[in-house]
Amino acid sequence: MNNVAPKLTSKEYEANFAELKPALTDVAALAEANRCLYCYDSPCMTACPTHIDISTFIKKISTGNMKGSAKTILSSNWVALTCAKACPVDVLCEGACVYHGKGEKPIQIGKLQRHVMDWYVEKKMPQLFSPAEKNGKTVGIIGAGPAGLACAAELTLLGFDVTIYEASKLAGGLDTHGIAPYKMQQQDSLNEVKMIKRLGVKIKTGVRVGKDISFGKLEKTHDAIFIGVGLPMPAELQISGEEMNGVVNALDFVENVTKRKWKSVDVGRRVAVIGAGNTAIDAATEAKRLGAEEVFMVYRRGREQMSAYDFEFELAKRDGISFYFHAQPKKIIGKKKVQALECLETRIVNGKLKTIPRSEFKIPVDMVIKAVGQNIDETLLVSIPKLKIKDGMVVVNAKSYQTSNPKYFAGGDCINGGKEVVNAAFDGKRAAYGIHNFIFRKK
């Protein structure tokens, strides 16, 4: 890299990556729990993709039944700590809280859920569920992200013998490797992995299916297989200069940041982030917090088309990120090392995005982070016979999560093109019932 930003002091790193939403004190949690109206058939519950019985878990906080509260939460969502900290609550549960209708602040559901899950972890995660007697069937799961973990936990409760195959050294998927450290800590996700392991789930880490073990072998070993591989392939820009030193994929960049070894992550003094989704925002704010002097987000469309949530956009603005809207990257300029990003201006003509000829401009930068999306690993998945893939997503039955190959089920980012942790957690859990019904031939 041409100009690596000077390293910060440990204290500065800690401050920059401190939690954006700190925990509630016991007193504040109790007061907030008592403010909840305990709605019947509550809209917050409907809005939660895993349909956690929110009013009940909050009621249990207010009566001091913390164990019961933890059980209420976990019985709907196996990665409830991650979700409590990383869910976009403004557009989900809290966005639906009835207090909006009174013109008052919604209940801080995420923070209350975190309060309970923190209590649970602090109490060393006592067993709350007892798995059914072993039913003699076995399921293999590919990928230990939230989808795979949820599916594994639920299947174990149903009596299945479950093994997860995970390519990475650490289980947890993007909960462990992707989510910004000012939202949650890697340890939170690892605690969830530990809890699920304790139910009896086996996790083989460092095993890449398709390379270290074949699909054929999996099919022989297991009665059914769940695919929870997420979207591991970064989309490419297809412009010249991508091979240069100083060009990185957003996922690789944030993965290093979640390890909390900030001093070892190099960041340029001036950084361009290409893309405008939530991942792009994370990469940009993380670059800034690592010490980059200027960070530019470069997006070929306008603010209105940005897929990032409003609160993520606001966060980026607060962090002092600059935005280039209607800018299409054309090439990366430099001599082995990045010197600038050249873009063309764009405009919409008849609803179509068009670049404006001869509108080139250069943004001098030392680093380019590519965050234009993630794709499924097609080369891997095509080796599963008869597996149907459409628009870059594995096709499943909406109810059973069964793929076009009856032995395979799938859920999470690989079937939805990339949503949230909470969607993956729901898919995994529902798919467990799909698998159960498939194996035991129930309708």
Partner 1 sequence: MVDLRINCAGIKSPNPFWLASAPPTNSGYQICKAFEAGWGGAVWKTIGAPVMNVVNRYAAVDFNGQKIIGLNNIELISDRSIEINLKEIAETKRLWPDRAIVASLMVESDRKIWHDIVKRTIDAGADGIELNYGCPHGMSERGMGSAVGQVPEYCTMITEWVTEVSTIPVLVKLTPNVTDIRFPGRAAKKGKANGISLINTINTIIGVDLDTFQIEPSRGGKGGHGGYAGPAIKPIALNMVSEIARDPEINLPISAMGGISNWKDALEFILLGATSVQVCTAVMHYGFRIVEDMIDGTTNWMEEKGYTSLDQIRGKALTNIANFGDMNLLSKHVAHIDEQKCIHCNLCYIACEDTAHQCIDLHQKKGKKQPTVREPDCVGCRLCYIVCPVDHCITMVQKDNGAQSKTWNELVKELPQPLSIEDLRKFQHKHGIDVH
Ligand X SMILES: Cc1cc2nc3c(=O)[nH]c(=O)nc-3n(C[C@H](O)[C@H](O)[C@H](O)COP(=O)(O)OP(=O)(O)OC[C@H]3O[C@@H](n4cnc5c(N)ncnc54)[C@H](O)[C@@H]3O)c2cc1C
Which of 29, 58, 92, 174 lies at the binding interface for ligand X (CB under 6 A)?
Answer: 174
Q: Nearer to ligand X by C-beta: 343 or 384?
A: 384
What distance in Å separates the CA atoms of residue 120 and residue 194, rounded to the nearest whole number?
13
CB-neighbour burial class of residue 136 (10 A; exposed 0-12, middle 13-18, buried 19+): exposed
**Is beta strand 161-166 parallel, antiparallel or unpaired with respect to 202-205?**
parallel
Handedness of CA 145, 150, 155, 157 (dihedral sign): positive
User: Cα 154 vs. chain centroid, distance in angstroms?
Assistant: 20
Residue 372 binds to ligand X (criterion: CB under 6 A) = no
Which of 3, 8, 43, 333 lies at the binding interface for ligand SF4 (CB under 6 A)?
Answer: 43
Tokens 């009856």 sit on residue: 406
Handedness of CA 313, 319, 320, 323 (dihedral sign): negative
Cβ atoms of 383 and 210 within 8 Å: the answer is yes
Residue 70 binds to ligand X (criterion: CB under 6 A) = no
CB of 26 to partner 1, least distance (A): 7
CB of 72 to partner 1, least distance (A): 9
Residues 239-298 close enough to bind ligand X by CB under 6 A = 251, 254, 278-279, 282
What distance in Å separates the CA atoms of residue 403 and residue 385, rounded to the nearest whole number?
11
What distance in Å separates the CA atoms of residue 176 and residue 187, rounded to the nearest whole number?
8
Q: Nearer to ligand SF4 by C-beta: 80 or 415?
A: 80
Amino acid code (one letter) for 422: V
Q: Find which of partner 1, ligand SF4, ligand X, none residue 65 binds, CB within 5 to 8 Å per kind.
A: partner 1
Pick the piece of the chain touching ligand SF4 (CB under 6 A) from 22-30, 50-58, 163-171, 322-330: 50-58
What distance in Å separates the CA atoms of residue 196 and residue 79, rounded to the nearest whole number?
9
Strands (E), 59-158: 138-142
Residue 372 binds to ligand SF4 (criterion: CB under 6 A) = no
Q: Nearer to ligand SF4 by C-beta: 48 or 415?
A: 48
CB of 88 to ligand X, least distance (A): 6
Q: Nearer to ligand X by C-beta: 268 or 418?
A: 418
Pick the piece of the chain touching ligand SF4 (CB under 6 A) from 14-22, 33-41, 137-145, 302-310: 33-41
Which of 107, 195, 203, 218 lies at the binding interface for ligand SF4 (CB under 6 A)?
Answer: 107
Q: Is 275 left (phi over 0), alpha (psi -120 to 50) or beta?
A: left
Binding site for partner 1 (CB under 8 A): 26-27, 34-35, 38, 40, 56, 59-60, 62-65, 67-68, 71
Q: Nearer to ligand X by C-beta: 1 or 170?
A: 170
Residue 412 binds to ligand X (criterion: CB under 6 A) = yes
Residues 58-77 close enough to bind ligand SF4 by CB under 6 A = 58
Residue 181 binds to ligand X (criterion: CB under 6 A) = no
In sequence order, which residues have a C-beta less than 8 Å from that of residue 167 and are 6 or more positions away?
143, 206, 207, 208, 209
